[in-house]
Structure 1
Amino acid sequence: MDKLIFKISKNLLSVSVLKKDAPKEDLNNTNIIDTKELVFSKDYILENIELVSSFLNVVIIKREIKKIIIKDYDIIPLTIKIINNIPSIEELYLKPDKQINYKIFLALLENKHLKFLEVYDIPVYLLERLDINKNLEIKMRTEVFFISNFMIDNNLNTYSDLYYKKNIQINQLFTKEDIEDFNTFININRHLKLITINKFSQSMFNYIVEKLLEEKKSDIKIIITEEGNNLTDIYQTINKSKNEHDKLFKELNIEFKINYSLEYKRKNLIKQLNLNFIKICICSIIILILFLMGLNYYKNYSQARDIKNIEKELKHIINQIDKEYSIDNQDEDIEIIEGEPDYTAPTTTKSTYVSSYYKNYEKVFDTLLKINEDTVGWLTVNNTRIDYPVVKAKDNDYYLKRDYNKYRNSMGWIFMDYRNRIDLLNQNTIIYGHNIKDGIMFGTLRYTLNSSWYTKTANQIITFNTLNASMKWQIISIYKIPNTTDYLTTSFYSKEEYQAFLDMIVGRSIYNFNQSVTTSDKILTLSTCQNRGEERLVVHAKLIIE
């Protein structure tokens, strides 16, 4: 009956077939167990493989063993089955000078812990399967005899060297033997990542590239040494190859790099410094642009915040006047009844809020004129954020860059065309405002282009009051148009000219509002920029209530 002996020497475990039986008196002695030499019969191991594995695992862990050597070919499958249950074993050395068979391969395939395997020889198809399924480095002791400089320079002596080699160097121009051995290497190898060409020729370079593409080798970097080679030939050859195979190089991720010598770098230092200077300038320009963009963003944010603060102040003014107006009205309506001191008049909650602006807009304008004497009216467009006092200057440029408090602000304010009159409305009263992305000023006038907005009857009525009158305006036309000034005429010399103007603006509308417009009507025009200033968004309305 064959017995296996497990011997421990330092951090190494060796397994072999016991050549002779131990003395009976030693086997009967159970008081002492020598963990450096353990003997088990094959039958016992087969029947109790988990028990044997567990026992060995304790010993191996205690002695921090990571390597195991199997000395006899016949016990390799059984021993591998044991170590498959021992996670700490990472290296396996099979000493018999014999090619491993399929049974041994299957046992190895079940192992989840090995990182290194040394064998005499292994069939190519089994090696490839292990390489695909296992993160396992395999070294073979069988020597492969080559006579080429390529094999000698790269120390390629065994099949495993050919299979696992990651980096190769080409130090001499290829001979016939070099070409044959290079072909063998490329056919066998599965891990090549770097090729360094120290001796360059156009024909050899092209041959190497063609072979890599033919075998579809991927993720490879080719480094060409400048020293001792013609740099012009290198440039021309690489560029020509890239032009011919650019698509394949990208698909297979094949890269090229030139390794310049120190002497070359010294000679080209000034050129390099100039190139670095250009790079620094470009980086500086990019940083400057980013800084200016950030500064511009902060400026826009700050100016938008100022506009919103003005909006809050205006709402506060309206609310204050509303409270004063309500108190004044209550004083007028309260009737004092004597003799009923305990009577408390019931209070009711208003169902609809109506600002004092619409009930007593004179008081609102009195307050606004104290803030800005250029105030000429108040504009409200339903279901937008447009709810602002309107100003008017001596030209149409002043309020393009100033807010309601006359402070410089690129977002400007809502202003009336300087040609328009307040006391007696022109045939066409024009109001301008910037289309601000944040939604302030005329930033929400774009809502009027949505069918869900302009089809609602309530949205078709605009409120524009002046210092002299409270007015309602019915929308008759909404459209976008490339930059033009033909809709910005304020007064017309004849009814025919005015009628032609009315027909033009109604004809441009994106929606038919079914409103009749005659030369006796007064028109209100709201105008803002659109599409980065290349177009204008225009809303026209006619006066219906004054």
Structure 2
Amino acid sequence: MAMFNETANLKERDDSNFFLRFVKYFIPWKGDKTNEIVRKVAFCASIVLFSMSLNELSDYLGASREKQKSYIQKVVVEYEPKFDDNVNYDANNGGDDYDASNPEASAQKLKLQDWAKPLLKRNKDVIGWIKIPGFTDYSGEEYINFPVLKGEDNDYYLYKNLDKEYYESGSIFIDSASVMDENGQTDNITVFGHHMGYVGTSFTHLSEYEQGVDFLKKYPIIEFNSIYESGRRYAIISCFAINTEPEDDGGDAWKYVGCRDFNDDDNKFENWYDQVSKRSWYSSDIKCTEDDKYITLSTCSKLLKDLRWVIVAKKLTAEDNIDHIVKSYKERPDKEIYYPKYWRDHYGSKKIYQGWEY
């Protein structure tokens, strides 16, 4: 009797194959009770809705990506300045008002360049153009090839395009406290751009410089011209990851954006150059002095929260030899590189590259 009571409520063993049992668990089947049918129908309906939502999300993201890329591609086609391969070293860019025989020529005002005039008609905040020549996608379009703007503050163009309309990728813009006009430029100008992940727009592809020194040797030069210049080029001297919150590096955060003029008591050239050198993933034989001009490209990194990926480049002078510069690039040993504390906590003292989406 006891044995009967133990076994009376056991269901008959289902000897059907696994696939059939799996299907019966999720699909309404002959003999199911009402509550089982309701459960299975609800489950199937949720799967259908999820699949439709996933497909719509994929279509939306794809459309958003193409829309953002399409906008900037049209801007590039219409306005991109075409410079030859010669580097322009003239202090005054050879403008009509420039007199090379004048010992005070460097103090003369720069002349607005013809290539910039159509852009200024569209937006008076345009300050220049930036490009990394040769760094292209499969279709031959440069990843980094944009007009550069200057807003009333460093938030204005975060999510606005050239036409001051909402644009998720934002614009490429310089630090609003920097100077870049007909009288010259700040010693070091920070240029900002978003890291857009899989969308790939803005400064996303700067993260590819995390790959190693061979990639740097392929794309060592940045074209960066104010609207008063043509043919100016910069050679990369440093690439590094840096924290923006003090608590991520033992209570300290080097304010690289604030380093503008080297005659500032708080930002002497020696201190600035020491910081960009000790943090850099690469080294070179490029001669750098406080009399040179520099740009600092800054974008977010997906590797850690509040992390920035930064590339510093020096404006080429007549004394610089590009071939020699490229040959001099070397991978710095990890132990010689200064990494923020929270980088060391996550990755140790070593370089990381996880693809340009990160």
**TM above 0.5, one fold?**
yes
1:504 CA drift (Å): 1.4
1:253 CA drift (Å): 6.2
1:359 CA drift (Å): 7.6
1:313 aligns with 2:53: no
2: CA distance, partners of 1:276 / 1:524? 61
Indicate how the Cα distance of structure 1 residues 405 and 516 shifts in structure 2: closer, same or farther if over 3 A, else same.
same
1:397 CA drift (Å): 2.8
1:510 CA drift (Å): 1.5
1:302 CA drift (Å): 1.9
1:289 aligns with 2:58: no
Indicate how the Cα distance of structure 1 residues 274 and 468 shifts in structure 2: closer, same or farther if over 3 A, else same.
same
1: CA distance, partners of 2:87 / 2:290? 34
Please say if residues 431 and 525 of structure 1, whose CA atoms lie closer than 8 Å, have aligned partners that are also in contact: yes
Q: What does residue 387 of structure 1 align with?
A: 145
1:430 CA drift (Å): 0.6
Q: What does residue 159 of structure 1 align with?
A: none
Q: Which has the larger radius of gyration?
A: 1
Aligned match for 1:420, one of 163, 178, 201: 178
Please say if residues 428 and 489 of structure 1, whose CA atoms lie closer than 8 Å, have aligned partners that are also in contact: no
1:306 CA drift (Å): 1.8
The amino acid that maps onto 1:284 is L
Please say if residues 159 and 168 of structure 2, whose CA atoms lie closer than 8 Å, have aligned partners that are also in contact: yes
Q: What does residue 265 of structure 2 align with?
A: 494
Residues 200-211 of structure 1 correspond to what in structure 2 (within 5 A)? Answer: none
The amino acid that maps onto 1:465 is N
1:307 CA drift (Å): 1.6
Aligned match for 2:213, one of 436, 451, 456: 451
Residues 147-546 of structure 1 correspond to what in structure 2 (within 5 A)? Answer: 230=9, 233-234=10-11, 265=32, 268-270=33-35, 272-274=37-39, 276-315=41-80, 318=81, 362-384=113-135, 385=142, 386-423=144-181, 425-436=185-196, 437=198, 440-449=201-210, 450-455=212-217, 459-469=219-229, 471-481=232-242, 486=254, 487-491=256-260, 493-494=264-265, 498-531=269-302, 534=305, 535-545=307-317
Q: Residue by residue, what CA displacement relative to the aligned partner does 1:4-24 show, whole Å, maximum 9, x if unpaired? A: xxxxxxxxxxxxxxxxxxxxx
Please say if residues 475 and 513 of structure 1, whose CA atoms lie closer than 8 Å, have aligned partners that are also in contact: no
1:519 CA drift (Å): 4.5
Q: Residue by residue, what CA displacement relative to the aligned partner does 1:284-321 show, whole Å, maximum 9, x if unpaired? A: 23422331221121121122112211111114xx47xx
1: CA distance, partners of 2:30 / 2:221? 82
Please say if residues 234 and 316 of structure 2, whose CA atoms lie closer than 8 Å, have aligned partners that are also in contact: yes
Please say if residues 113 and 229 of structure 2, whose CA atoms lie closer than 8 Å, have aligned partners that are also in contact: no
Q: Residue by residue, what CA displacement relative to the aligned partner does 1:305-352 show, whole Å, maximum 9, x if unpaired? A: 12211111114xx47xx9xxxxxxxxxxxxxxxxxxxxxxxxxxxxx7
1:483 CA drift (Å): 5.6
Please say if residues 464 and 472 of structure 1, whose CA atoms lie closer than 8 Å, have aligned partners that are also in contact: yes
1: CA distance, partners of 2:191 / 2:236? 14
DSSP 3-state at the match of 1:527: strand
- Give unmatched runs, 5+ long, in structure 1: 1-200, 203-228, 239-248, 323-351
1:512 CA drift (Å): 0.8
2: CA distance, partners of 1:374 / 1:501? 29
Indicate how the Cα distance of structure 1 residues 359 and 275 shifts in structure 2: closer, same or farther if over 3 A, else same.
farther
1:367 CA drift (Å): 2.1
DSSP 3-state at the match of 2:161: coil
> Relative contact order: is structure 1 or structure 2 higher (C-alpha 8 Å, sep ≥ 6)?
2
Please say if residues 473 and 545 of structure 1, whose CA atoms lie closer than 8 Å, have aligned partners that are also in contact: no
Indicate how the Cα distance of structure 1 residues 279 and 254 shifts in structure 2: closer, same or farther if over 3 A, else same.
closer
Residues 21-32 of structure 1 correspond to what in structure 2 (within 5 A)? Answer: none
Please say if residues 224 and 234 of structure 2, whose CA atoms lie closer than 8 Å, have aligned partners that are also in contact: yes
- Give unmatched runs, 5+ long, in structure 2: 1-5, 96-111, 136-141, 246-252, 319-358
1:271 CA drift (Å): 5.6
1:509 CA drift (Å): 1.2
Indicate how the Cα distance of structure 1 residues 359 and 365 shifts in structure 2: closer, same or farther if over 3 A, else same.
farther
Please say if residues 68 and 201 of structure 2, whose CA atoms lie closer than 8 Å, have aligned partners that are also in contact: no
Indicate how the Cα distance of structure 1 residues 308 and 359 shifts in structure 2: closer, same or farther if over 3 A, else same.
farther
CA RMSD across the alignment: 4.2
The amino acid that maps onto 1:454 is L
1:477 CA drift (Å): 0.6
The amino acid that maps onto 2:52 is I
Indicate how the Cα distance of structure 1 residues 288 and 447 shifts in structure 2: closer, same or farther if over 3 A, else same.
closer
Please say if residues 431 and 526 of structure 1, whose CA atoms lie closer than 8 Å, have aligned partners that are also in contact: yes
1:269 CA drift (Å): 1.7
Please say if residues 234 and 314 of structure 2, whose CA atoms lie closer than 8 Å, have aligned partners that are also in contact: yes
User: TM-score scaled by structure 2?
Assistant: 0.60
2: CA distance, partners of 1:263 / 1:441? 57
Q: How many residues align?
A: 267
User: TM-score scaled by structure 1?
Assistant: 0.41
Indicate how the Cα distance of structure 1 residues 387 and 496 shifts in structure 2: closer, same or farther if over 3 A, else same.
closer
DSSP 3-state at the match of 2:313: strand
The amino acid that maps onto 1:540 is V
1:355 CA drift (Å): 11
Please say if residues 426 and 490 of structure 1, whose CA atoms lie closer than 8 Å, have aligned partners that are also in contact: no
DSSP 3-state at the match of 1:507: helix
1:528 CA drift (Å): 2.0
